[in-house]
Every structure is written in structure tokens, then in C-alpha cells.
Structure 1
Amino acid sequence: MRMDIRWGDMDMMGHVNNTVYFRYIESARIAWLEAAGGPPHPDGTGPVIINAHCTFLRQLTYPGQIEVKTYVGRPGRSSFEMTHEIRAIGADGQAGAVLNATGGAKIVWADIKAEKSVPLPDFVRSALA
């Protein structure tokens, strides 16, 4: 997925703030869930992040555009891992060969009100296959 780097994504140091990388990853994760057929629903069951990480390798600056590639791991009973690669788009319109950041999260499917994990729904298992 491609995204624009916004002016407000930068901090006083003139580069994209570290917290914004998590927003980029979140946008890619939600887009994947929507494509799989299951956007989050706060009243039922859905994805809950139990950990998230990001490694910052090269800074990003405005103006620009990025590409976020998303990868999913094998499903467990109620969870799966997602990882992401973030690359700047060059003047040629192609994602750079050098990574700007890598990150990911462990997603657990949960009954939101009960605050307990539940088995992954079939549509998620199918998307992970």
C-alpha cells in the first residue's frame, strides 16, 4: 500500500516522527483486515494488538510517498503475526531497494467485551492460508 508523507508527520528535527511509523503500519494492517473481510467491530470480536515493534533504519522526510509491504505469519488458535517493510518511493515512482523501517505486531482475536481471546474466525484463517 502506498501513502503520502504529510507535513504534520514530521517533528522539529525535520524528519518523520518515530510514532508516525506505527500509524503507517496501522493503516496497512487495517487495510489488510478490510480486504480479508473483517474490519474491526468494537461491539463483537476482533483484532487486538498485544505487542508492536518498529526498527528505524533510514529517516523519511516530507514531501514524499512510502510503500508499506505487509506479510502475515501462520495462524495459531487465536493469533497471528504481521510484519511490514516501509520504503520511500523514489523520483522514478518505484519503492527504494533500501528499507527505511521494519515493524510488526502480534494480533490476537478477542471477544472485546469479555476481554478474552477467541479462535480466529474462518475468514481470517482463509486469508492467512
Structure 2
Amino acid sequence: MTTVGNTQQNQQSELKLVYTCCMPVRWGDMDAFGHVNNTVYFRYMEQARIEWMASFLDVASASNTGPVLINAQCNFLRSLKYPDQIEVQMFIAAPGRSSFNTHYQIYRLGAEKTRCAEGQAKVVWVDTVQEKSAPLPEAVLAQFR
């Protein structure tokens, strides 16, 4: 277990690093001000989360249960711009019956690795037919061990 960022450390002191991925900043990620638009940081976190889940779940198959975000937040520390290469680290906190918190660190890679953003999102497992929370599947729970 590890701690992450000052803001996130206040909310969760023990986090488990479960996934790291690298990706390029695309030209289209930037806005008129010449830096990555704030909404795109959420896409970077989403990409890491989906890749992580795809490593142990069949995320493409139709199912009556699945993950839903109920909140997400991001602290922007440094701007990103094309053609930066980034690394997204994803951490998880102890699960509840039907939910868990995810935490993210986004770094610009280069001569120095610079932390540019930190964020978090709460994932709730939902029965889509009943529109109610459902217990986390065993495959998800196994990631916390």
C-alpha cells in the first residue's frame, strides 16, 4: 500500500497501486489556449480505469451489472500540451459492499517526470435492470487482495 498526493492523502491514507499506463497527448486534446482541456484529464483517468478493468473482466460483454461513476474530481497542477507523453497511475482504496474509490496521478514524461494532475472517482457496481447498487463481483474484490 502507498499514499498518494496531499489532497488525496487527506481522504485515503492507504492506497494500492493497481495499474500504470502511458499514452500520448493528442493535438485534439488541446483547447484554444494551447493546453490540454480540463475535461480531457477525466478521459485519461477513464482510459486507465477501463484498461485496468479489462485486464480481469470482459468489459465488452453485455451484462446486467457493471461499474458506474457517481463522482469524479481532478486537481490540475501543471498544464499538458501536444506532443507530451503521459503516464497515468491508478490506485484503489479498500472496497465497500458495492463500491470503491479510485485515485489517479498523471505525470508528464521527459527528462524529468512531472506530476501534472491528481484525481479520484468513486465506482459503484450497479444492477442496470433494477437500477440499484449490486455487490462487487469476486473478480473485482480479488484486485484488493
Q: TM-score, normalised on structure 1?
A: 0.91
Residues 25-73 of structure 1 show CA distances to partners (whole Å, capped at 9, x for unaligned) of 0000101111122426554100010000000000001011100000011
Change beyond 3 A, Cα 1:52–1:112:
same
> CA 1:108–1:40 in 2, change beyond 3 Å: closer, same or farther?
farther
Cα RMSD of the aligned pairs, angstroms, is 1.4
Deviation at 1:105, TM superposition (A): 0.4
The percentage of aligned residue pairs carrying the same residue is: 50
Deviation at residue 77 of structure 1 after TM alignment:
0.4
Partner of 1:88: 108
- In the alignment, structure 1 residue 103 sits paired with structure 2 residue 119: yes
After TM superposition, what 4+ stretches of structure 1 lie above 6 angstroms from structure 2?
A: none
What is the CA–CA distance in structure 1 between the aligned matches of 2:39 and 2:103, rounded to whole Å? 17
CA distance in 2, matches of 1:30, 1:18: 20
User: Unaligned 5+ residue runs, structure 2?
Assistant: 1-20
Select which of 22, 27, 34 maps to 1:14. Answer: 34
Amino acid at match of 1:108: V
Q: The residue matched to 1:84 in structure 2 has which SS? A: strand
Cα displacement (A) at 1:115: 1.0
What corresponds to 1:128 in structure 2? 144
Q: Which amino acid aligns with 1:116?
A: K
Match of 1:30 in 2: 50
Cα offset, 1:121, TM superposition: 0.6
Distance 2:44 2:100 in 1: 19
Amino acid paired to 1:44: N
CA pair 82-110 structure 1, distance change in 2 beyond 3 A = same
2:142 matches 1:112: no
TM-score by length of 2: 0.82
Q: Do residues 62 (structure 1) and 82 (structure 2) align?
A: yes
